Structure 1
Amino acid sequence: MNIYIDESGSINNHIKNNKYFIIALVRTFDITAVKKAYKRFVSSNYSRLMELDQDKISPKTGRIIKEGSKMFKNGKFKELKGSQFDKEMKQKFVDFFAQKNSFEVYYIRIDNEKLTDKLCDNTARVFNYTLRLALEYFFNERYLPDEDCLLQLDERNEKTESVHFLENYLNTELFMNGTTVGKFIVEYFDSIDNNIVQIADVFANLYYSHMQTGGYNEELNKLKKSGILKGLFTFP
């Protein structure tokens, strides 16, 4: 079983307009098919993606209100970033991938306003602990099969000196409590080098945007009806 993970937002209970932190898990059935779909999506929307990746300038002040160059560098495409998408592009993304049957999406929603200051002192701990609880829930509810699992994450989610912590943590906790007999392998990537982590990034930002604005009910319902959106775990 292959699961690709990325997030949107930040784990912080003191930032204004930062109510939620979202983690998206993309479980693939056919990696080759997903990667081919990724390439088709990029190529068919290349010009628009480049346009969306330009600096956004305030017409009143002339200042940059949103930095570009997240998806392109020197005119060359690097990676998909959901934070650079507008609503129309997110709708195109959902319409395109809702036709695929080669992966599933699971969400984890962390309510920042319910986190204590002590928890927020170590955001990596919150991330790892919540991921462990969510996986336990998805296994127990039979969303995920009881088998070996390769987790691939954006390397920003873990400090270099503790890259093996999550793997050991999941293997210890979820095996010892009887959740799964499968083995976890955890790998970290620069998202530029992992197309499916980038897809997880866009799905995470889609749900994050929905929690901020409430404006993506239609897209989320489309993912549910297509069988792609499978489950949601909330914390705390």
Structure 2
Amino acid sequence: MNIYIDESGSINKYATNDQYFVVSMIHVLDPVALERAYKRFISSNYEMLLDLDSDKVDDMTGKITKHGGRMFRDGKFRELKGAQFDRDMKHIFVDYFSRKHHFDVYYIMMKNENLPNRFFDNISRTFNFSIKSALLYFIQNGYLPDEDCFLQLDERNERVENKSFLENYLNTELSLSGQVAGNFSVSYFDSACNKFVQIADVFSNLFYSHLQTGHYTDELELMKELGILKGVYELT
């Protein structure tokens, strides 16, 4: 199976306005159909996406309140970024991609105030532990198949020297221990070059935004109703 991963928020015991850390895992069932759907989404919403990616300026002060240029470069589309979406575009995105069952969505969530202090000592180690724990939970409880798994992640937050660690960690903790039957392979990508990591980005931002604001209940309920939201694993 192929799983695409991205995250929103931060693991930070000092952040007062950033209480949550969310990881989305997208289990792709039909990559050919999903790639076609991705391209249709871009072409159908091109002008709205371009407008959302422009700098937002405060009318009173003239200062930029939100920087653009994350989805487009020199007027040309580069990648989807959930942080650039407004509420309407997030609804359009969820409705569009939920109607055809090309993938399943799994979430990992952490609330900083509930985490033991040791989880803040090494953020990369905590991230890897959350992936291992969630995969074990979802596989052992029948939400994911117990088979060889290829994980693809955004490379932006991972140091070069750590890029082989997650793969070795998962295979040691899960496969060699006999807790699962499948083996794990891990690769990191520039998200601009990986369409499905971009989809994971938007879904992670959606759930993160919901935890922060409570504004996306309808979208999450639609995902459940249409069967693409399979589960939420909370690390405490």
TM-score range normalised by the length of the shorter chain: over 0.9
Q: Deviations over 1:33-62 (max 9, x none)?
A: 111111100110000000000111112221
The equivalent of 1:182 in structure 2 is 182
Give the residue type in structure 2 aligned to 1:189: F
d(CA) in 2 for partners of 1:179, 1:43: 44
Q: Deviations over 1:78-134 (max 9, x none)?
A: 000000000000000011011111100000001111234442232111100111111
More moved, 66-75 vs 149-158: 149-158
TM-superposed deviation, 1:178: 2.6
Corresponding pairs, count: 236
Q: TM-score under structure 2 normalisation?
A: 0.97
What RMSD over aligned residues (CA atoms) do the two structures have, in Å?
Answer: 1.0
d(CA) in 1 for partners of 2:117, 2:141: 31
Going from structure 1 to structure 2, the CA distance change for 1:99 and 1:120 (only over 3 Å counts) comes to: same
The equivalent of 1:44 in structure 2 is 44
The sequence identity of aligned pairs, in percent, is: 56
SS in 2 for 1:38: helix
Structure 1 position 193 matched with structure 2 position 160:
no
Aligned counterparts, 1:71-150, within 5 A: 71-150=71-150
CA contact 1:101–1:228 (8 Å) conserved in 2: yes
Structure 1 position 170 matched with structure 2 position 170:
yes
Q: TM-score under structure 1 normalisation?
A: 0.97
Give the residue type in structure 1 aligned to 2:76: K
More moved, 177-186 vs 104-113: 177-186
The equivalent of 1:7 in structure 2 is 7
Q: Deviations over 1:188-232 (max 9, x none)?
A: 000000000000000000000100110111100000010000011
The equivalent of 2:34 in structure 1 is 34
CA contact 1:13–1:114 (8 Å) conserved in 2: no
